């Protein structure tokens, strides 16, 4: 097959493209490199600041479009797959639809559909926006305002979403949350695939014994500190360190390129990542592949979706339970003898559910089902 990825997030599309090439397919990534992560792309669509940067960006897109034709599948990274205003994105989308066989959406980020699911009062018990019936710390914060989250409610954004959704042939979700948000809307046209992790490039170094000091790691995205809940995770991490100063070590990093970030987490025992998620995200899975225990989201609904009934190594923390983060972290410190086994189970979990070859096969099976009969 011949696949074009338009846009990327946290290296997901690039990881898929690399795996697809190993499997004999042709794959091209056109993206901005996931901003500061600077991940690999074949067509560079990085937008630089200022008016000159905006003009250059438009020129780069116009120059790239002829190279983005003739593909069996175009997989766009959310309805906002370019750093343009929606009406400009729609024109690019229409061009890609007219010059390629099938258009597929990667449900991998906040969009109108996910935003509505977070606010409907029944899809989730908690989300980035609501904790039960109460607004989350993110709502009303500087991040919420800076990221213009109210735009998801605006007519121009909903018209854009309707335009994209009416033009796609299907959608693939990388998380439980996005899958259940899209399922009522698209039915059999949405598939769950998970986040691909290149386990072959991530060395696993088993622990022979319990660590004398538990090394806790957290990565902060400067403009997503509150929405990810890393503000609360970091505060709990510091409290536990104060409580156990002789047997804990902390490492806090911020906005690192992807390769450096992956290396920096490698020597830790525990990673803290995403408080308001039902599922482990990319950072947690990359860490788990290297034998780092993840403190993240791992609700029963997630395990049910992936069919996992035995190996559940993620330390699930609830934003709805007061003191839950502190309690879980303290347990890890006091039960360091459990870390070697949890580290092994974490690696096994990623190999089973998120290895790039397994996730790529799910994508291929779904894409194949969308192609015209003569191409199947």
**Dist CA 11 CA 29 (whole Å):** 10
pLDDT at 224: 82
Please, what is the average pLDDT of the chain? 95
Coarse DSSP helix, strand, coil percentages of the chain, rounded to the nearest 5 percent: 50, 15, 35
Phi, psi of 10 (to 5 degrees): 55, 35
Q: What is the pLDDT of residues 59-118, one digit of tens each?
A: 999 999 999 999 999 999 999 999 999 999 999 999 999 999 999 999 999 999 999 999
Same domain, 185 and 262: no
What band does 376 get if pLDDT is binned at 50, 70 and 90? Answer: low
Query: What pTM did the predictor assign?
Result: 0.94
Same domain, 104 and 247: no
**Dist CA 59 CA 34 (whole Å):** 20
Same domain, 267 and 125: no
Mean pLDDT of 12-20: 97
Of 37-51, 170-184, 292-306, which gets the smallest average pLDDT? Answer: 37-51
Angle of helix 258-265 versus helix 282-289 axis, rounded to 10:
50
Same domain, 207 and 306: yes
Same domain, 80 and 210: no
Same domain, 57 and 89: yes
CB atoms within 10 A of CB 80: 20
List, in order, residues 6 or more apart from 295 with CB less than 8 Å away.
233, 270, 271, 272, 273, 314, 315, 317, 325, 328, 329, 332
Q: Which residue has the tokens 């979706």?
A: 305
pLDDT at 198: 96
Phi, psi of 236 (to 5 degrees): -65, -40
List, in order, residues 6 or more apart from 225 with CB less than 8 Å away.
143, 231
Of 59-73, 217-231, 309-323, which gets the smallest average pLDDT? Answer: 217-231
Domain carrying residue 188? 2-196+356-375
pLDDT at 252: 93
Q: Which CATH number do you get for residue 217?
A: 3.40.50.2000
Check pLDDT > 90 for residue 164. yes
Instruction: Report the number of distinct structural domains present in the chain.
Output: 2
pLDDT at 10: 87
Check pLDDT > 90 for residue 326. yes
Mean pLDDT of 153-168: 97
Same domain, 259 and 361: no
What band does 263 get if pLDDT is binned at 50, 70 and 90? Answer: confident
Same domain, 135 and 243: no
Same domain, 233 and 143: no
Q: Which among 209, 210, 213 is positioned nearest to 246, based on CA atoms?
A: 213
User: Could you give the strand order of the β-sheet that contains 43-44, starting from the edge strand earlier in sequence?
Assistant: 43-44, 26-31, 2-6, 73-77, 102-107, 170-173, 190-192
pLDDT at 256: 83
Same domain, 149 and 285: no
Same domain, 162 and 208: no
Q: List 175's β-bridge partners, or say none.
A: none
């Amino acid at each position: 097959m011949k696949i074009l990825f338009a846009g990327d997030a946290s290296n997901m599309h690039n990881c898929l493209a690399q795996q697809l090439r190993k499997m004999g397919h042709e794959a091209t990534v056109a993206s901005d490199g996931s901003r500061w992560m600077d991940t690999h792309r074949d067509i560079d669509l990085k937008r630089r600041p200022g008016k000159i940067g905006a003009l250059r960006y438009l020129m780069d897109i116009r120059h790239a479009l002829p190279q983005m034709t003739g593909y069996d599948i175009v997989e766009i990274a959310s309805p906002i797959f370019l750093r343009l205003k929606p009406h400009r994105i729609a024109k690019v989308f229409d061009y890609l639809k007219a010059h390629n066989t099938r258009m597929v959406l990667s449900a991998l980020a906040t969009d109108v559909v996910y935003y509505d699911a977070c606010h409907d009062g029944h899809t989730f018990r908690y989300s980035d926006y609501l904790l039960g019936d109460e607004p989350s710390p993110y709502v009303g914060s500087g991040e919420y305002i800076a990221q213009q989250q109210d735009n998801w409610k605006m007519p121009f954004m909903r018209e854009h979403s309707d335009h994209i959704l009416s033009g796609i042939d299907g959608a693939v979700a990388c998380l439980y949350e996005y899958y259940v948000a899209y399922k009522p809307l698209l039915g059999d046209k949405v598939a769950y695939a998970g986040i691909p992790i290149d386990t072959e490039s991530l060395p696993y170094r088993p622990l022979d014994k319990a660590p004398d000091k538990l090394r806790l790691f957290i990565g902060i995205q400067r403009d997503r500190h509150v929405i990810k809940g890393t503000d609360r995770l970091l505060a709990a991490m510091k409290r536990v360190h104060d409580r156990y100063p002789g047997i804990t070590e902390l490492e806090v990093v911020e906005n690192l390129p992807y390769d450096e970030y992956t290396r920096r987490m490698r020597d830790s025992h525990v990673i803290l990542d995403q408080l308001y998620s039902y599922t482990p995200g990319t950072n947690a899975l990359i860490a788990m592949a290297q034998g780092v225990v993840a403190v993240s989201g791992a609700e029963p609904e997630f395990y049910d979706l992936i069919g996992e009934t035995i190996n559940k190594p993620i330390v699930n923390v609830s934003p709805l339970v007061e003191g839950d983060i502190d309690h879980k972290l303290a347990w890890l410190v006091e039960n360091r003898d459990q870390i070697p086994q949890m580290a092994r189970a974490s690696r096994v979990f990623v190999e089973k559910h998120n290895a790039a070859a397994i996730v790529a096969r799910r994508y291929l099976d779904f894409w194949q089902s969308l192609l015209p009969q003569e191409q199947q």
